[in-house]
Amino acid sequence: MTDTLIDRRDLTFQLYDVLDTQSLLERDRFADHNRETFDAVIETADRMARETFANHNRDADRDEPRFENGEVTMLPEVKEGFDAYAQAGFIAGRYDESLGGMQLPESIMAACNGFFTAANPGTAGYPFLTTAAANLIRVFGNDEQRDAFLRPMLEGRFSGTMALTEPHAGSSLADIRTSAAPTDEGHYLIKGAKIYISGGEQSITDNIVHMVLARVRGAPAGVKGISLFIVPKYRLDDSGQPGERNGVSLAGLIHKLGYRGTTSTALSFGDDAPCHGYLVGEPNQGLKYMFQMMNEARVGVGFGAAVIGYRGYMHSLAYARDRTQGRQVSDKDPESPQIPIIEHADVRRMLLAQKAYCEGALGLCLYGARLMDDQQTHPDPEKRAAAGTLLDLLTPVIKAWPSEYGTKANDLAIQVYGGAGYTREYPVEQCWRDNRLNPIHEGTNGIQAMDLLGRKIWQNKSEGLQLLIKEIQTDLEAATEGRRQQWALSLSETLQRAVKVTQELGGALMNEGPEPVLANAHCYLTLLGHITVAWIWLRQANAAAQYLGNHGAELTASDRAFYEGKMQAAQYFFHWELPTVAQDLMLLERRDDTCLNMQPDWF
């Protein structure tokens, strides 16, 4: 067990050496900041996450929220952690100073939030949902709604949820049935049932603001008839304080295998009492609005998966340095002392795979956060648009890849621990359980794959893919020496095959319709994910090689070890991981129809 949540040195390297985050300081929005304020806020996040989140991570997993008399009881430490997070200004961290925010870049806020999720994913869920819901009101709400709900949310007095899923409509939002009937007083009456609503009830904040998808009576069928409503747990009185109870009630808690500290709720709207809802923006535009929140949440899920993976890696690394067991295979003397298990090559394999997955996933997600920054604040409008296009394309990858490989990393962390790994006396099995939600919630990875290959890749004549290729090209050209040259060559070849197969699939989509092509969408998602993460590793290797080259003589042993580790992890990714997409490429190229042609009654 280690205190380290995310290796600070790695984070500094990724933010500054690889992503040049300090260049954001040139932008007007961040004029009041400097490298010191960035570092100070990260330092605060790291410390607070350890002190107020990590302190009850295990207890909140063991002693999960309970449903008693229509209310939720939960550990008081969860509220203490939430309040500390809010009071430190993190909920409003990225918002305008005029809203009480710190006007921090997304990149820095993402890094900060990484510590909190690594420390305690269950408790982190509440502020994260709140900030995402708040952003929806900020962008699409009217002034009155912003006044009423946004500020208390940013201050942490109210929390937020996203209430999309219904018992019969999880992935298929087109089928939601919750209804909204207009009234003469301006509000709507909401009626229906929602399920799997994270944070839908809790004992943390004075009020809960549900962002609810519902249909106004008479709206068109399908996604074109969905509207977005604000549905508070308590209606506000004239002074803006929580007053009368609104007709949204907790039908029950769902018991998850991970993120157990975050309540997952079944909610009923308008069952026993009238449930007021306030329309956000225009009717029938709800799904479009909600997609802003969902895309943000998807990037957040990827980030969470990356850092939960990272946390498990830190634990297993500390364990492998400490735990002695066995000897080198060539040492036949049973009286020689046992060695730390990190001395066994197979243990190093499992640690190196974790390092390659998690530091790669972290790099991918930080890059995603940087794209948000560029989309929002790049001085050049073309660059802003380009960043948005690239972020759109990569969102399914950022959601899915870390969730799959972060969980795989946690699986390896358990394996490094051996028998201790599967016991609840040690911390890594919880990481693994927590992370297992991430390939599912906010859109299963199957949905992400369909989104990528069925839609994102073709938008604006595949401009996103073109932009990605251009970005990759820059780093391929910078990889001019030694091992990196080899790695660049294999990435380049893989990329070329991927582009070719993309064109073929595009043709097939036109000629044969979507079913036969999308049947193997999962392979395409893996392919693009591995290519992107290989590129992220090439960037890290380029930065590491540059540092090693520039500071050759005066390097400390610890510096040298850090950069050599980066190079070796990059080598692991290029030797052990990237080549595995040959299989995905082959299945895509020959349009393998095994799954497509499998008949339901053949199972």
Q: Between residue 102 and residue 161, which ones bind its own copies under the rule CB under 8 A? A: none
Query: Interaction with its own copies in 60-79: which residues (CB under 8 A)?
Result: none
Cβ 188 vs Cβ 277: under 8 Å: yes
Q: CB of 282: closest distance to its own copies in angstroms?
A: 19
Does residue 274 bind its own copies (CB under 8 A)? no
Residue 113's closest CA among 294, 305, 377? 305
Q: Which two tokens stand for residue 157?
A: 């007095």
Name residues contacting its own copies, limited to 281-320 (CB under 8 A).
317
Q: Which residues 514-533 are close enough to bind its own copies by CB under 8 A? A: 514-515, 518-522
The only residue of 100, 101, 182, 222 in contact with its own copies, by rule CB under 8 A: 222
Facing residues of 227 across strands? 214
Is residue 418 near its own copies by the rule CB under 8 A? yes
Taking alpha carbons only, the member of 492, 486, 467 closest to residue 545 is 486
The DSSP-derived string for 219-241 is: PPSGGGG-EEEEEESEEE-TTSS
- Alpha carbons within 13 A on the beta-carbon side of 109: 28
Kindly write out the interface string for residues 554-593 of this chain, putting x where it contacts its own copies by CB under 8 A and - elsewhere.
---x---xx-xx--x--xx--xx--xx-xx--xx----x-
Q: Is 83 in the site for its own copies (CB under 8 A)?
A: no
Q: Is 415 in the site for its own copies (CB under 8 A)?
A: yes
Check binding of 596 to its own copies (CB under 8 A). yes
**Who's near 270: CB < 8 A, 6+ residues apart?**
189, 190, 191, 192, 247, 248
442 is catalytic: yes
Q: Which element (helix H / strand E) includes 147? A: none
The interface with its own copies within residues 347-376 (CB under 8 A) comprises 347-352, 355
Contact range with its own copies by CB under 8 A, out of 228-236, 435-443, 468-476, 500-508: 435-443
Quick one: which segment of 31-39, 185-193, 447-455, 542-550 binds its own copies (CB under 8 A)?
447-455
DSSP summary character for residue 280: E
Which tokens belong to 26?
């040139």
Q: Which of 65, 258, 304, 402 binds its own copies (CB under 8 A)?
A: 258
Q: What are phi and psi of 20, to 5 degrees?
A: 55, 45
Asked if 468 touches its own copies (CB under 8 A), the answer is no
Shorter beta-carbon distance to its own copies: residue 330 or 550: 330
Count of residues interacting with its own copies (CB under 8 A)? 103
CB of 417 to its own copies, least distance (A): 9
Give the separation between CA 212 and CA 232, rounded to whole angstroms.
10
Nearer to its own copies, 325 or 480 (CB): 325
- Residue 468 near residue 390, CB atoms below 8 Å: yes
How far is the C-alpha of 199 from the C-alpha of 480, rounded, in Å? Answer: 50
254: Cβ contacts below 8 Å, ≥ 6 apart = 195, 196, 264, 265, 266
Selected catalytic residue, list 64, 166, 442, 577: 442
Of 7-46, binders to its own copies (CB under 8 A) are none
Determine contact, residues 527/584, Cβ cutoff 8 Å. Answer: yes
d(Cα 563, Cα 95) in Å, to the nearest integer? 35
Q: Which of 100, 101, 170, 243 binds its own copies (CB under 8 A)?
A: 170
* Residue 490 in the binding site for its own copies (CB under 8 A): no
Q: Pick the closer one to its own copies by CB: 148 or 533.
A: 533
Active site residues: 442
